[in-house]
Amino acid sequence: MRATVSFLVLVLCFLLAPHLQAQWHILDVKTNASFRSVHASSPLTCWIGGTNGTILRTTNGGESWEVLRVPEADSLDFRDVHAFDQNTAVIMSAGESEKGKARIYRTEDGGQSWQLVYQTTQKGIFLDGLDFWNSRRGICFGDPVDGRFFILTTQDGGRSWQELPMANRPEALSGEAAFAASGTSLITTGKSAAYIGTGGSQAARILRSTDYGTTWQSITTRLQAGPSSGIFGMRFWTKKKGIAVGGDYRTFTEDTPNVLLTKDGGKSWQLTPGTLPPGLKEAVGLYYPPPFGKKNLLLMAVGASGSGYSADQGRTWIALDQHPFHAVSFSGSVGYAVGGKGLVAKWGE
C-alpha cells in the first residue's frame, strides 16, 4: 500500500510540474492606463477597469482587446468590475464624491453603451469595492462616513442601488478605512455572506455579514495595520475556508507576516508566515491546474513586490516573479493579472 501511495504522489507531481513552472505572459493592450480591477467571467472573457475612464474587454482569451470608453468619465478611475458574461458588466469608480467620482455604471451590450446607475456627491464618500452573490443580488461599500462604513445593496443586478440605513452600517475605528487597491477588499461568498477587509487604524479588521450585508459583526485580526497598512484582498474557496492578504504600500517589500487564514467561515482568522516574494500582497486568485480541476487548488497572490503561489491553502509559498500586479482573476485554469502603466498578463492557454 505504501509503495502504491508513493507512486501516485510521484505521478501527481509529474503531471503538475509543467503548470507549477508556468509563468505570466505579458500582453500588449494598446494603452498606458493603470489598472486595479479585473474579472474573468470565463477563460475567454475578461473585463478590466482602470484610470482615465478606461475599460478593457476580451472575448477570445486575450488574443485581442477592446479599449472601451465610458461617456463623460475620462477623469474616473475604475477600481472594481464585476462581469456577468461577455455582454453584461458593472463597474465602480473610486474617488472623491464631492468631485463627482463616486459612480457605478452598467452595460448590457459589451460596453458599447453604459448606464449611470448610481452617483452621489455626499461629502466624504469614497467607494472601495463591489461584488455580487448572483445575477441579481450585489453589494458595494466605501470608506466610513460619520463613523460608519458606507454600504450599498442591489437586488436587480446592479440596475439600481439602495443605501443601507445608517444604524445598520458597521462602525469604524478612529482612522479606519479600506484600500481600493484590487477590487477584493470586499468579497461575497456562499448564498448570503460578505466580508470587508480594513486597515488604516491600530488594527486590521474583517467585517462579516451573513444576511446580504444587512447586519455586520467585526473580527479583529493580528495582521499589522496603520495609516498605510492592513488587509488589501480576500478570497474564499469553500464556504468555510478563506484567505486575506495585505501589507504596507509604503514599505511594500518588507518581510512581515501578511496572510490570514480561516477555516470557520470567517468567524476567526489565524496569522501565518509571509508570502514569497515577501512584501505587500493585494489580491489572491484561485487557480485550478489541469488535469485535476477542482480536485487541486493553487492560491496565486499578487502585489507590488511580485507574485507567488501556495499549494497548501496558504500555509507556505513559492515565489514566481517580481511583476507588480495589483489585481488578479482566474476562471478555472486561465487567469489575468493587471497593474500600472498598461500592465496586463495572462496565465494558462
Task: Say which amino acid occupies 205.
Answer: R
Confidence band, pLDDT 50/70/90 cuts, at residue 8 = very low
Question: Taking the CB of residue 160, how many other CB atoms lie within 10 A of it?
Answer: 13
Confidence band, pLDDT 50/70/90 cuts, at residue 18 = very low
Q: Is 323 inside any structural domain?
A: yes
**C-alpha closest to that of 193 among 240, 253, 259, 135:** 240
Q: Is 336 inside any structural domain?
A: yes
The reported pTM is: 0.93
Judged against a pLDDT cut of 60, whether residue 222 lies above it is answered with yes
- pLDDT (tens digit per residue) in 134-179: 999 999 999 999 999 999 999 999 999 999 999 999 999 999 999 9
Q: Is 15 inside any structural domain?
A: no
HSE-CB for 286 with a 13 A CA cutoff = 19
Percent of the chain with pLDDT over 70: 93
| Mean pLDDT computed over every residue of the chain | 93
Judged against a pLDDT cut of 50, whether residue 300 lies above it is answered with yes
Number of compact structural domains in the chain: 1
Report the CATH number that the domain containing residue 164 is assigned in CATH: 2.130.10.10
Q: Is 11 inside any structural domain?
A: no
Can you give the residue range of the structural domain that contains 38? Answer: 21-347
Place of cell 478606461: 54
| CA 163 from centre of chain | 22
Q: Is 213 inside any structural domain?
A: yes
Which phi and psi angles does 82 have, rounded to 5°? -125, 120
Q: Is 2 inside any structural domain?
A: no
- pLDDT (tens digit per residue) in 28-51: 999 999 999 999 999 999 999 999
Q: Is 98 inside any structural domain?
A: yes
Q: Is 224 inside any structural domain?
A: yes
3-state DSSP assignment of residue 293? helix
Judged against a pLDDT cut of 80, whether residue 12 lies above it is answered with no
